């Protein structure tokens, strides 16, 4: 099973162990709302778990994906607090099959602003 298939399995099942095994120790997470890249597995896991809690509801779905040998772009959509959130997950991985970089972009601005508040609350738990 390749990295993207494992990612989809994690999103579908929400199993923390699956996510933990996917993320490399030196992973870098780039948030659509935070200027500085977040360095390391622990902070990447924290952001991805918070995003799952906020976005991965019954409306969440991946619309399309573009996969190369060691990177992919996955377009997603979900409804959060009455707003349609559209975005992309850009994922890079190493030869060991672990994610080394995860960048998220979100549109429209109103949806991003709504997500910032929801993510801040989730991250503070």
User: Which domains are assigned to the chain?
Assistant: 3-123 (3.10.450.50)
Q: Can you give the pTM of this predicted structure?
A: 0.94
Residues in a beta bridge with 97: none
Dist CA 16 CA 7 (whole Å) = 11
At 29, the pLDDT band (50, 70, 90 cuts) reads very high
pLDDT value at 98 more than 80: yes
Torsion over CA: 36, 40, 46, 49 (sign): positive
46-66 as b/e, with b when 16 or more CB fall inside 10 Å? bbbbbbbbbbeeeebeeeebe
pLDDT score recorded for residue 63? 98
* pLDDT tens, residue by residue, 41-79: 999 999 999 999 999 999 999 999 999 999 999 999 999
């Amino acid at each position: 099973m390749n990295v993207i298939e494992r990612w989809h399995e994690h999103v579908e099942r929400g199993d923390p162990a699956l996510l933990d095994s996917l993320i490399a120790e030196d992973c870098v997470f780039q948030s659509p709302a935070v200027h500085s890249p977040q360095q390391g597995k622990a902070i990447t896991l924290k952001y991805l778990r918070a995003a799952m809690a906020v976005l991965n509801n019954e409306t969440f779905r991946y619309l399309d994906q573009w996969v190369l040998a060691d990177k992919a772009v996955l377009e997603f959509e979900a409804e959060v607090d009455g707003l349609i959130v559209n975005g992309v997950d850009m994922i890079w991985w190493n030869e060991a099959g672990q994610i080394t970089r995860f960048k998220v972009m979100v549109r429209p601005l109103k949806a991003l602003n709504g997500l910032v508040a929801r993510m801040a609350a989730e991250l503070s738990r």
